[in-house]
Structure 1
Amino acid sequence: MRVSVKEAAKTLEVSEQFIRIGLQRELLPIGTAIKMSSKWTYHISPKLLKEYIGEHN
């Protein structure tokens, strides 16, 4: 399971572009961004997102 860029942006109260750039530059430790040809693909881990915002199970 993964979290969409839109959902992550809403959770962190930032723009979707913030999430995309943060993942592309490896500055946001919530998932990965992989460039496939000229298009980026994003994987945001629900677990890493929760840890990043300080939420524990």
Structure 2
Amino acid sequence: MSSKRISVAEAAKIMGVSPQFVRIGLQRNLLPFGFATNMGGGCRYTYYINPKEFQEYLGLNNANQI
């Protein structure tokens, strides 16, 4: 895994969970590696996953990159 952007789908695949699990976790501030922003007050969200924090959350270091 490099320092490029990580999509919700990619994060879910790496974690072995559904993309919906990641989306809800980010919306509810339950996952410490990113956030969800509500765009315009509706039901549409934009997601950001910090690559470094995601890697740390998974317990990986540079030698164990995905």
Give, as a single letter, the amino acid of the residue that structure 1 aligns with 2:24.
I
The DSSP-based 3-state class of the residue aligned with 1:49 is: helix
Specify the SS of the correspondent of 1:9: helix
The number of residues matched between the two structures is: 57
Q: Which has the larger radius of gyration?
A: 2
TM-score (norm 2): 0.82
Structure with the largest fraction of strand: 1
Pairwise CA RMSD: 0.8
Structure 2 unmatched runs, 5+: none
Matched with 1:32 is 35
Runs of 5+ consecutive residues of structure 1 not aligned to the other structure: none
